Amino acid sequence: MLHTRQPSSPSRIRFRLLADRAAKLVFGAAALFGIVIMGILLARITSEGLSWLSLDFLTGRFSTSPEKAGIMGAVLGTFWLLAVVVPVTMIVGIGSAVYLELYSKNGKIRTFIQTNIANLAGVPSIVYGILGLTVFVRVLGFGSVVLAGGLTLSLLILPIVIVAAQEALRSVPSQLGDASYALGGSKWQTIQSVILPVALPSIMTGAILALSRAIGETAPLVVLGIPALLIPFPGGILDRFTVLPMQIYYWTLDAALVADYAHLAAAASIVLLISLFLLNGSAIYLRNKYSMKA
Amino acid sequence: MIKSIKKTMLIGVAALTLAACSSKDEESDTASATASTELEGSVLIDGSGTVYPLMAKLAETYMVEEQEGVSVEVSRAGTSAGFKKFLVKDGTDFNDASRKIKDEESQAAEDAEIEVKELKLALDGLTFVVNKDNDWVDQLTPEQLISIFKADSDVTKWSDLDPSWPDEEIKAMGPNENHGTYEFFYEKVLEEQDLKPSVNLQQDYSTLVTLVSEDKNGIAFFGYGYYAGNQEKLQAVPVDFGEGPVEPSLETIAEDGKYATFTRPVFTYLNVGHAEDKPQVLDYAKYVLENANKMAGETGFAPIPESESKENLDFLNTLSDK
């Protein structure tokens, strides 16, 4: 066989080096883009809202007078929402993942379920809102209460939790399960005392990231009909409620009427961002702590 | 590790049970009460975003000063969207409206066997606003305003209205069909002539304020309150109804004021059945009628004559005697 490739000319080489440098620049800029946007966002909301953050703001009730308004109602609303979302997504999410990974056989049914879950993960959140309005608020007659909102948001994040839990279960080394079987453990015993405990940190990481998404959602709740003015604190999952993102949304709208509402929206955004950072941080902490042990 | 799963579940179940218990006692809002006693339960209000600031102020003061046990919840889907939630079984108790109820909505109420009572709250002036840097428009006639918005007209540039004005495209905007403000404009000002397809219709008033304050050629219309809160960003167009230009203000938009042609009453519609069944709804309805005039000014509305609220109050009093 003849060598057909010619040695590169110096101009070719210069072009390649140039292309190399250009590529580095383009990709570097792409990576910076996110950071710059984040920086602008943070600078803007801190300059607008930081001076409005106070203990009274955090613990106060909602008010139409900006200087009296507080966000405790929205914070409690989020808390009760989580009281619904956490158990529902954990039980149903881990349950379906265990079934899909450990019980179901490879076959048509499994592929069917798997495809559906993948598709559900891509459904826009507002569609879940419409579903929640129809099923939970209207048909089941809950009204726009925490329970209806919580179940709607659970549906929204379930696909994410299931996929994360499946990944986690799949990454458990098969020797561990085999060892348990060798000792005479039943399938449930093996799952319960060997596989789940090993997979739990990764499952939690995925679940916490999904929860932080639920906390930040606005679109499905707008559809459910969360009131713009709600002063009493929600005391349980059958009470009507509002959450931080909704409060931010309404204050942003009302900034057209009373300019100071913009500061309230910014201050509430700071609170929301900090809580999301904390949640995501705890997910990363869990992941790092347990992946080192493994 | 398995313990922590169990713990999570336990906490969840405990939370559910606790919550179920705590909210039960709030459902018993059937206790019959007179106006002076402590009331509880909730009052659900949806409807016009134009009326929202006034209704929100009323609701807050009611809860803070009158009845702490009652939760008045105010939403703002828009007049038409609100009526859809109002005219169904177990719908909202009140629907705020920046226009009168329509025939088909009255029909829907009849079909659903809902008795509806119109309560007039205040007066609002349809205000046309332009950009701060717009130094040519000092006044417009209703005819000129119509020609800017209606489809069947040759006016697309400012110079079409007055040759000395800039030869630039007019950017007309307004609230969309969900809003009573749109319908008032369409029915009473345009007299049901079609709008130009180029008119930019928005869901949120805040968007309109931003758009006009950023576009030198912008012109938009909305309730007076949205102008009153943004006087440093926008200027109102004085309208010449035939006796010289009139700028909208709390005085001119009042009953029989000089701006009266573009002034409209704003209402809240009461579900009479709910008022008979739930004392807190009736009590709040009375509070609204007695106090709307006091709070109208600070939220950008003009008060209505006492005699009109008196008439409605008398009607409500017949309900409580039943």
pLDDT in tens, A158-185: 999 999 999 999 999 999 999 999 999 9
Cα-Cα-Cα-Cα dihedral sign, residues A71, A74, A76, A79: negative
Regarding whether A46 and A75 lie in a shared domain, the answer is no
Regarding whether A96 and A82 lie in a shared domain, the answer is yes
* B31 band by pLDDT with thresholds 50, 70 and 90: very low
Mean pLDDT lowest among A278-282, B33-37, B297-301:
B33-37
Q: Measure CB to CB from residue B60 to each of A90, A229, A235 and give the nearest one.
A: A229
Amino acid type, A246: M
Regarding whether A182 and A60 lie in a shared domain, the answer is yes
Sort out which chain B residues have CB atoms less than 8 A from A64's CB and list them: 53, 56-57, 60
Interface of A with B (CB under 8 A): 63-64, 80, 83-84, 86-88, 90-91, 94, 146, 192-193, 196-198, 200, 225-232, 235-240, 252-259
Interatomic CA distance for residues B247 and B237, integer angstroms: 7
* A155, two tokens: 């549906």
> Domain range for residue A285?
56-293
pLDDT tens, position by position, B200-250: 999 888 889 999 999 999 999 999 988 988 888 899 999 999 889 999 998
Regarding whether A116 and A60 lie in a shared domain, the answer is yes
Considering the domain boundaries, does residue A229 fall inside one? Answer: yes
Regarding whether A122 and A175 lie in a shared domain, the answer is yes
Q: Where are the alpha helices (DSSP H) in chain B?
A: 2-24, 52-61, 79-86, 103-111, 142-149, 158-161, 180-184, 205-214, 224-228, 272-277, 279-296, 306-321
Sort out which chain A residues have CB atoms less than 8 A from B72's CB and list them: 229, 231
Which of A249, A213, A2, A214 minimizes the C-alpha distance to B76?
A249
Q: CB distance A236–B23 less than 8 Å? A: yes
Interatomic CA distance for residues B294 and B298, integer angstroms: 9
Considering the domain boundaries, does residue A43 fall inside one? Answer: yes
Q: CB distance B53–A257 less than 8 Å? A: yes
Whether the per-residue pLDDT at B32 is higher than 60: the answer is no
Regarding whether A61 and A41 lie in a shared domain, the answer is no
Whole-structure pTM value: 0.79
Considering the domain boundaries, does residue A4 fall inside one? Answer: no
Burial class (CB in 10 A: 0-12, 13-18, 19+), B65: exposed
Please list the residues that pair with B263 across neighbouring strands: B125
Query: For residue A259, what pLDDT is reported?
Result: 82
Contacts of B246 (CB under 8 A, 6+ apart): B238, B239, B240, B252, B258, B259
**Domain end call among A52, A70, A86:** A52
Regarding whether A31 and A153 lie in a shared domain, the answer is no
- Secondary element (H or E) of residue A142: none
- B76 shares contact with chain A (CB less than 8 Å): yes
* B76 band by pLDDT with thresholds 50, 70 and 90: confident
Considering the domain boundaries, does residue A2 fall inside one? Answer: no
The CA distance from B167 to the nearest CA of chain A, in Å, is: 30
Considering the domain boundaries, does residue A105 fall inside one? Answer: yes
Rg for chain B, CA atoms, rounded: 23
Asked if residues B79 and B185 have their Cβ atoms less than 8 Å apart, the reply is no
Residues in chain A: 294
Query: For residue B17, what pLDDT is reported?
Result: 46
Cα-Cα-Cα-Cα dihedral sign, residues B248, B251, B252, B256: positive
* A271, two tokens: 């609170």
* B29 band by pLDDT with thresholds 50, 70 and 90: very low
Interatomic CA distance for residues A51 and A37, integer angstroms: 22
Regarding whether A96 and A194 lie in a shared domain, the answer is yes
Considering the domain boundaries, does residue A109 fall inside one? Answer: yes
Asked if residues A271 and A58 have their Cβ atoms less than 8 Å apart, the reply is yes
Interatomic CA distance for residues B73 and B51, integer angstroms: 14
Considering the domain boundaries, does residue A124 fall inside one? Answer: yes
Q: CA-based angle A176:A179:A183, to the nearest 5?
A: 145
Residue with tokens 């869990």: A286
Considering the domain boundaries, does residue A32 fall inside one? Answer: yes
Sort out which chain A residues have CB atoms less than 8 A from B57's CB and list them: 64
Q: What is the average pLDDT score of chain B?
A: 86
Regarding whether A38 and A61 lie in a shared domain, the answer is no
How many H-runs (helices) and E-runs (strands) does chain B carry?
12, 11
Query: For residue A289, what pLDDT is reported?
Result: 82
For the segment B185-212, the average pLDDT, to the nearest whole number, is 90
Higher-confidence residue of B166 and A257: namely B166
Flag whether the ipTM exceeds 0.85: no
Interatomic CA distance for residues B301 and A236, integer angstroms: 37
Regarding whether A142 and A102 lie in a shared domain, the answer is yes
Query: For residue B254, what pLDDT is reported?
Result: 86
Regarding whether A247 and A217 lie in a shared domain, the answer is yes
Regarding whether A195 and A96 lie in a shared domain, the answer is yes
pLDDT in single tens digits along all 294 residues of chain A: 555 666 667 788 899 999 999 999 999 999 999 999 999 999 999 999 999 999 999 999 998 888 889 999 999 999 999 999 999 999 999 999 999 999 988 888 889 999 999 999 889 999 999 999 999 988 998 888 999 999 999 999 999 999 999 999 999 999 999 999 999 999 999 999 999 999 998 999 999 999 999 998 888 998 888 888 888 889 888 888 999 999 999 998 888 788 889 999 999 999 999 999 999 998 888 888 876 554
Residue with tokens 């080394």: A173
- Cα A184 to its chain centre, rounded Å, is 40
* B297 band by pLDDT with thresholds 50, 70 and 90: confident
How many C-beta neighbours within 10 Å does residue B276 have? 14
Q: How many structural domains is chain A composed of? A: 2
State the CATH number of the domain containing residue A219: 1.10.3720.10
Residue with tokens 């009453």: B265
